[in-house]
A and B are shown apart, each in its own frame.
Chain A
Amino acid sequence: MSIQHPLEECLKTDLATWEIGPYDAALPGPMKLRLSLDGEVVVSAAYETGFLHRGLEKAFEQQPWRAVVAYSDYLDTDGSIFGELAVCLAVEEIARIEVPRRGQYVRVLLSELGRISAHLGYIVRVAKAMNAETIIHYVLRDRERVLDLFELATGARYTLNYLRFGGIQTDITDGFVERVLEVCELFRVRLKEYNDLFTYNHAFLKRTQGLGVLSADRAAALGVTGPNGRASGHAFDVRKAHPYSGYDLFDFAVPSAGGIERDEGASVGDANDRFLLRLREISTSVDLLKQAAEGIPSGEFNYFGWGEKAIIPSGEAYSRVETSRGLLGCHVVSDGGPSPTRIQFRPPSLAHFSAIPELVKGIRLEDLPVLLATLDPGISEADR
Chain B
Amino acid sequence: MSWMSPWIEGIGILDSAPAWVLAALSLIVIYIFIVVPCAALISYLDRKLTADFQARVGPNQAGPAGIFQPLVDGLKLLQKQPRDPVSWREAAWLSVHTMALYSTVAVLPLGSAVLLVDTDMSAFLPFWSALVLALGTMLLGFSQSGVPGWFGGIRVAAQTLAGAFPALIALLCSGVAAGGFRWSLLAAAQGTSPLQWTAFANPFQFLAFAVFVVSGLVTLGIPPMDAPFSSTDTHGGVSSGLWGRRYILFRLGRFYGFFLWSVIAVTIFLGAWSLPFGGSDYLREQGYLRLLQTLELLWLLLKTLLLMILVIWAARVNPRTRVDQVTDFAWTVLSPFALLALIGASVVVAWGYFQ
Contact = CB atoms under 8 A, between A and B. Distances in A.
Touch test A–B (CB under 8 Å): yes
Contacts of A130: 232, 319-320
A16 interface: yes
A204 interface: yes
B322 A207 contact: yes
A64 B324 CA distance: 57
Interface string A272-286: 000000000000000
Nearest to B320: A131
Of the listed residues B227, B232, B321, B322, the one surrounded by the most CB atoms of chain A closer than 10 A to its CB is B232
Interface in B230-289: 230-235
Could you say which interface size class chain A belongs to? 20 to 34
Interface in A302-343: none
Given A365-B234, A368-B233, A369-B232, A138 B55 contact: yes
Contact of B318 (A18, A40, A128, A132): A132
Contacts of B54: 133-134, 136-138
Interface string B54-81: 1110000000000000000000000000
B151 interface: yes
B325 A207 contact: yes
Given A40-B151, A131-B223, A137 B318 contact: no
Could you say which interface size class chain B belongs to? 20 to 34
A129 interface: yes
Contacts of A365: 151, 233-234
B319 A25 contact: no
A296 B49 CA distance: 45
Contact of A201 (B50, B154, B230, B319): B319
B43 to A, nearest CB: 15
A201 B224 CA distance: 13
Contacts of B50: 133
A366 B317 contact: no
Nearest to A133: B316
A207 B319 contact: yes
A367 B317 contact: no
A138 B56 CA distance: 10
A26 interface: yes
Of the listed residues B54, B147, B319, the one surrounded by the most CB atoms of chain A closer than 10 A to its CB is B319
A45 B325 CA distance: 23
Interface string A175-219: 000000000000000000000011001011011000000000000
Interface in A334-384: 364-369
Contacts of A141: 55
A212 to B, nearest CB: 14
Contacts of B224: 131, 203
Given A16-B147, A25-B231, A366 B318 contact: no
A137 B319 CA distance: 14
Contact of A25 (B53, B232, B318, B324): B232
A141 B56 CA distance: 10
B55 A131 contact: no
Nearest to A17: B147
A367 B227 CA distance: 11
A54 to B, nearest CB: 27
Contacts of B323: 40, 364, 366
A135 B319 CA distance: 10
B319 A364 contact: no
A201 B318 CA distance: 7
A132 B316 CA distance: 7
Contact of A203 (B154, B234, B321): B321
A49 to B, nearest CB: 20
Contacts of A206: 321-322, 325
Contact of A366 (B55, B223, B233): B233
A153 interface: no
B147 A18 contact: yes
Given A141-B55, A203-B224, A131 B151 contact: no
A131 B234 contact: no
A235 interface: no
Contacts of A201: 318-319
A137 B320 CA distance: 17
Nearest to A127: B319
Interface string A28-47: 00000000000010000000
B322 A366 contact: yes
Contacts of B230: 131, 366
A8 to B, nearest CB: 18
A128 B317 contact: no
B65 to A, nearest CB: 20
A64 B56 CA distance: 45
Nearest to A25: B232
B239 to A, nearest CB: 14
A131 B322 CA distance: 11
Contacts of A129: 232
Contact of A132 (B53, B55, B147, B317): B317
Interface string B287-319: 000000000000000000000000000001111
A322 to B, nearest CB: 30
Given A40-B323, A133-B317, A203-B319, 15 more contacts: A26-B232, A26-B233, A40-B151, A40-B324, A129-B232, A133-B316, A134-B317, A135-B317, A141-B55, A197-B317, A206-B322, A206-B325, A207-B322, A368-B233, A369-B233
Nearest first, the 3 closest Cβ-Cβ pairs linking A and B are A130-B319, A132-B319, A137-B54
6 contacts: A18-B147, A130-B319, A203-B318, A206-B325, A366-B233, A369-B232
